[in-house]
Structure 1
Amino acid sequence: MSPNPIPDPSSVRYDGPWAHKDVHANGIRFHVVEAEPAHRGRASNAPLVLLLHGFADFWWSWRHQLTGLSEQGFRVAAVDLRGYGDSDKPPRGYDGWTLAGDVAGLVRALGHSEATLVGHAEGGLVCWATAVLHPRLVRSIALVSSPHPVALKQAVLRDPPQRRAWLPNFLRYQPPRYGERLLTIDDGFEVERLLRQRAGRRWAHTAELVDTARRMRSAIRVPGAAHSALEYQRWAFRSQWRPDGARFMSAMREPVRIPVLSLYGEADRYILDGTLRREHRLAPGRRLIGIPEAGHYAHQESPDAVTTELAKLLG
């Protein structure tokens, strides 16, 4: 069976009750998908909610929250992060400082002075970084399966169950070229393997997961996407022995005093709840809420429950 053609970046621009646009920020172009607020007048007057996806994913991850939160009157935008989907894929800039600068630039480019940031997994780590490095632009943050960067590092070093769940794939993707090939061969099957491995059992056997896997497999095969996705993890690994990494982790020890909502799937076998409970002092006002029966992708597995909790945060 011959492989499918290499997808064009524009192939991620799926139709729906939203608009696709190009937004320039921090020196590059981002693909942003925006749902207009239902009943708060002009979009520019509604509170901005910016949705950030996780590893090997793209904006589609947030389809349920795009519609669900816009119907409640918020201006909601999901972005293909640097290197993903139909956003630009520069050769560098996958460090925590630059990624936080991307989000800060997007908030300004969308015409707002502040926003609530919502992130899944690695997208959540970008939320944490932006809240610390650009605090005036962040009204509140919500995380889905995304511990504080300091807590994650400590858990991997000190907690054997979390280390066994998280470290093997992280190390597996470090060698150059090997990781890119692993993510893209067999029409991106590795992405579907990760999705099924980390999803809760209830969602793992649904038609929606099959459709989501198909779209993710196509998106990771967009030229440059696999390499860019891996550069996030490679910087996180390499920087542990470099001054820029030490400075970043030192900066991340500054407590986040804005409202923080931390959501996790109670059936998540990848990021364990004990890891999420670490370092409470770094976000003293945080609310930690488990989503029953959901795995690592709670915002897709139990979208109504996640959207309800996000709406409470947004007020």
Structure 2
Amino acid sequence: MTAVDATHVLHDGPWRHRFVAANGARFHVAEAGEGPLVVLLHGFPQMWWCWRAQIPALAEAGYRVAAMDLRGYGASDKPPRGYDTPTLAADVAAVVRSLGSDDAVIVGHDWGGWIAWSMPALEPAVTRAVAALSIPHPLAMKRSLRRSVRQLGASSYIWSFQLPFHPERHLSSGGTAVEELLRKGSGTSWPGVDDEGRDIVRTYTEAMQVPFVAHSAMEYYRWVVRSSVRSDGRRFVERVDQPVTVPVLHIQGSRDPAVLASTVRESTRWVQGSYRYFELEGAGHFLPEERADDVTALLLEWLATLP
């Protein structure tokens, strides 16, 4: 069996692969186009490739697009520490500066969306606007987990990720773990068992087998749970508990089984600036791929309105 390494995630396409030094680590970005910078942040269990439909479309529309592998994922560095949200936000800010830009529109899905929501509070100087897909404001999620039995049940997988060793071994085994996450999280638009569906499963299963990726992915979840009773978690809550005044685009799938639409709508408590919310009927959690055309159209329409 051929060993999987980071070169396996450098897929060809209408983009150029680039590595940038930022915040004490090296990050991989897939870059295309010229113009105002738009940074795309993926979620779990994916990588930069989830934005493959949006990268060329945004570049063609006149934007410089950088789809980034987050710390611990894909071809980016996988250090033993730094999976707390303030460090992840600092990573994104440093990548923006390393790409030679003063600021950027930050677009994120799932964990990428969690980071995007945090950017106006943690890294305001580089955050021009925020688009979040399939994720509420961090404090809306925390609030819902305390008050909503339905959201608590939908997020039950998070607790299994707190176990040592077992989750990462399961994810990196090359078995069906990643496929099950993708299928269970998707709505009616999942491509199913055709060639496209098999290619998607194979790509993400292989990406999770890159050394240290599965462990790094679990560290995101472990920090957000364990820090809730520590001083670093309290400091994070205090910092993001302020109005978001930059423009926000919020996209949610009506059939997302992991993050309920009712939870996502609570985000308005923390938004004071321009806010656009769209709920895609029948869509699940993995919107950039499930509803690629809709997501691209909504992003382009919104980006054109930004000052």
TM exceeds 0.5?
yes
Pair 1:32-2:29 in alignment: yes
Give the Cα separation in 2 of the matches to 1:84 and 1:128: 20
Over 3 Å counting, the alpha-carbon distance change for 1:188 and 1:33 in structure 2 is farther
1:226 is aligned, of 188, 191, 214, to 214
Give the Cα separation in 1 of the matches to 2:159 and 2:170: 13
Q: Look up the match of 2:177.
A: 190
1:265 is aligned, of 234, 253, 275, to 253
Q: Look up the match of 2:63.
A: 74
Q: Find the residue that maps to 1:16 and give its secondary structure.
A: coil
Q: Look up the match of 2:271.
A: 283
Deviation at 1:211, TM superposition (A): 1.4
Give the Cα separation in 2 of the matches to 1:131 and 1:213: 34
Q: Find the residue that maps to 2:257 and give its secondary structure.
A: coil
Q: Look up the match of 1:142.
A: 131
Over 3 Å counting, the alpha-carbon distance change for 1:188 and 1:66 in structure 2 is farther
Q: Does structure 2 conserve the Cα–Cα contact (< 8 Å) formed by 1:200 and 1:295?
A: yes
Q: Does structure 1 conserve the Cα–Cα contact (< 8 Å) formed by 2:29 and 2:69?
A: yes
1:203 is aligned, of 190, 202, 224, to 190
Q: Look up the match of 2:286.
A: 297
TM normalised by structure 2 equals 0.96
Q: Look up the match of 2:298.
A: 309
Deviation at 1:204, TM superposition (A): 4.6
Q: Does structure 2 conserve the Cα–Cα contact (< 8 Å) formed by 1:188 and 1:220?
A: no
Q: Look up the match of 1:247.
A: 235
Give the Cα separation in 1 of the matches to 2:268 and 2:94: 29
Q: Does structure 2 conserve the Cα–Cα contact (< 8 Å) formed by 1:188 and 1:218?
A: no
Q: Look up the match of 1:7.
A: 4
What are the Cα deviations for residues 150-195 of structure 1, in whole angstroms up to 9, with x where unaligned? 00011111111111111x210101111111112112x142111000
Q: Find the residue that maps to 2:53 and give its secondary structure.
A: helix
Higher mean alpha-carbon deviation, 280-289 vs 260-269, is at 280-289
Give the Cα separation in 2 of the matches to 1:49 and 1:188: 35
Q: Find the residue that maps to 1:116 and give its secondary structure.
A: strand
Runs (4 or more) in structure 1 with deviation over 6 Å come to none
Q: Look up the match of 1:212.
A: 200
What are the Cα deviations for residues 71-125 of structure 1, in whole angstroms up to 9, with x where unaligned? 1111011011000011100000000110010000011000100100110011101
Q: Find the residue that maps to 1:202 and give its secondary structure.
A: coil
Q: Does structure 1 conserve the Cα–Cα contact (< 8 Å) formed by 2:136 and 2:267?
A: no
Give the Cα separation in 2 of the matches to 1:235 and 1:183: 18
Q: Which runs of 5+ in 2 are unaligned?
A: none
Over 3 Å counting, the alpha-carbon distance change for 1:188 and 1:262 in structure 2 is farther
Letter of the aligned partner of 2:28 in structure 1? H
Over 3 Å counting, the alpha-carbon distance change for 1:161 and 1:141 in structure 2 is same
Give the Cα separation in 2 of the matches to 1:279 and 1:81: 24
Give the Cα separation in 2 of the matches to 1:91 and 1:204: 35
Give the Cα separation in 1 of the matches to 2:71 and 2:190: 28
Give the Cα separation in 2 of the matches to 1:136 and 1:68: 27
Q: Find the residue that maps to 1:278 and give its secondary structure.
A: helix
Over 3 Å counting, the alpha-carbon distance change for 1:106 and 1:291 in structure 2 is same
Over 3 Å counting, the alpha-carbon distance change for 1:68 and 1:89 in structure 2 is same
Q: Find the residue that maps to 2:251 and give its secondary structure.
A: strand
Letter of the aligned partner of 1:197 in structure 2? K
Give the Cα separation in 2 of the matches to 1:110 and 1:64: 22
Q: Does structure 2 conserve the Cα–Cα contact (< 8 Å) formed by 1:196 and 1:204?
A: no
Letter of the aligned partner of 1:305 in structure 2? D
Amino-acid identity (%): 45
TM normalised by structure 1 equals 0.93
Give the Cα separation in 1 of the matches to 2:195 and 2:160: 29
Deviation at 1:253, TM superposition (A): 0.6
Pair 1:175-2:175 in alignment: no
Letter of the aligned partner of 1:288 in structure 2? Y
